């Protein structure tokens, strides 16, 4: 926050130690740690400005509801959405709970007030999957639209992995030559260092093999499996651009992104009778509540079908 006093050395050290703790013991991803550090620093900086100077750990843990309400009002006033504020509050509460336990003040009045604070309500955005037909058309279109055969085969292979295996784009592009030829199952390390086993469909094996046969660069164990035109690792933005071009030709909405292919994988599995716990494992979700979002997607799709088939009088 502009103009906020610097954090006290004790708080700065505590924040650094907490982030190290999350990285080492909880396996938090780098992007998550960056977001948490930014959120907590913003809160601590606001608190210092609000109280007229840098605060130590004891004053932090003695903060009251008025301090928290002032911070939340400030964040909303600068345009932070309810969803982002809920995430920031979660990070702040996590840091305070850790600091309170570390200082032996877990039962302190201030810490109790802060930890009991409720996050602002927000409407969770539902994933926007493609239909099975649209997903297939998208894979074909990115291959047809490419300027040469090998990049078309490459883009189609990447999307086949997203839709056929439920991989994140970072996970697909994180594959190396050591993963080729694709086995029947892949060991994928996803967010937070969480490892999962993902079955590989024959169609995905064939798509990657077709790309590898056309790729002008040697597929070696220590190099990225998917390459850019200069031979370096493929930039995910190129896949996004290929999908932008393809969806324009197919008449698909802007929500038809690489991540929508992963959403489609989960939604179509659920619609076909897939077990929610099994889908959670395949996607690498840490929480079942994240996977349960797809039940709402499927329910919404069924209601659309129902209303179209049974229009109201």
Comparing C-alpha atoms, which of 281, 278, 272, 246 is closest to residue 260? 246
H runs (alpha helix) in 26-131: 30-51, 57-61, 65-77, 82-102, 109-115
56's enclosing H/E stretch is: none
Task: Print pLDDT tens along the chain (313 aa).
Answer: 445 556 778 888 888 999 888 887 766 677 788 889 999 888 888 888 877 766 677 767 767 777 778 888 888 888 888 778 888 888 888 888 888 887 665 544 455 555 555 655 545 555 588 999 999 999 999 999 999 999 999 999 999 999 988 898 999 999 999 999 999 999 988 876 778 888 899 999 999 999 999 999 999 999 999 999 999 999 999 999 999 999 999 999 998 999 899 888 888 877 767 666 777 777 765 555 555 565 554 544 444 544 554 455 4
Do 94 and 114 meet the contact criterion of CB atoms below 8 Å apart? Answer: no
Q: What is the CA radius of gyration of the chain?
A: 24
Domains and CATH numbers, the chain: 9-115 (1.10.150.130), 132-309 (1.10.443.10)
Q: What is the 3-state composition of the chain as percent helix, strand, coil, each rounded to the nearest 5?
A: 65, 5, 30
At residue 188, φ and ψ (nearest 5 deg) are: -110, 130
Residues with a known catalytic role? 168, 191, 259, 262, 285, 294
Beta bridge partners, 197, equal 187
Q: How far apart are the first and last CA of the chain?
A: 56
Comparing C-alpha atoms, which of 79, 100, 72 is closest to residue 14? 100
Residues contacting residue 282 through CB under 8 Å, at least 6 positions apart: 166, 196, 198, 199, 266, 269
Do 226 and 214 meet the contact criterion of CB atoms below 8 Å apart? Answer: no
**What's the pTM value of the predicted model, to 2 decimals?**
0.60
Q: What is the DSSP letter of 176?
A: B
């Amino acid at each position: 926050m502009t103009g906020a006093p610097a954090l006290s050395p004790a708080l700065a050290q505590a924040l650094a130690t907490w982030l190290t703790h999350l990285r080492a013991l909880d396996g938090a991803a780098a992007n998550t740690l960056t977001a948490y550090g930014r959120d907590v620093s913003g809160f601590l900086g606001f608190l210092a400005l609000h109280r007229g100077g840098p605060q130590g750990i004891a004053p932090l843990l003695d903060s009251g509801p008025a301090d928290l309400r002032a911070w939340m009002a400030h964040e909303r006033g600068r345009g932070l959405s309810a969803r982002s504020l809920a995430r920031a509050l979660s990070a702040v509460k996590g840091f305070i709970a850790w600091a309170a336990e570390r200082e032996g003040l877990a039962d302190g009045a201030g810490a109790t007030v802060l930890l009991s604070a409720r996050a602002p309500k927000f409407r969770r955005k539902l994933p926007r999957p493609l239909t099975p037909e649209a997903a297939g058309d998208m894979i074909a279109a990115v291959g047809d639209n490419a300027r040469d055969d090998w990049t078309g085969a490459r883009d189609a292979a990447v999307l086949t992995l997203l839709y056929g295996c439920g991989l994140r784009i970072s996970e697909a592009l994180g594959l190396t030559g050591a993963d080729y030829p694709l086995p029947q199952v892949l060991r994928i390390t996803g967010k937070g260092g969480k490892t999962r086993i993902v079955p590989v469909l024959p169609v995905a094996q064939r798509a990657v093999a077709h790309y590898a046969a056309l790729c002008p660069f040697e597929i070696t164990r220590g190099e990225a499996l998917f390459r850019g035109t200069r031979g370096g690792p493929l930039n995910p933005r190129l896949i996004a651009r290929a999908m932008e071009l393809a969806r324009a030709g197919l008449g698909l909405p802007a929500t038809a992104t690489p991540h929508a292919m992963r959403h489609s994988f989960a939604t179509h599995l659920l619609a076909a009778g897939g077990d929610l716990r099994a889908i959670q494992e395949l996607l690498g979700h840490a929480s079942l509540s994240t996977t349960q979002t797809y039940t709402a997607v499927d329910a919404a799709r069924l209601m659309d079908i129902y209303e179209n088939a049974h229009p109201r009088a």
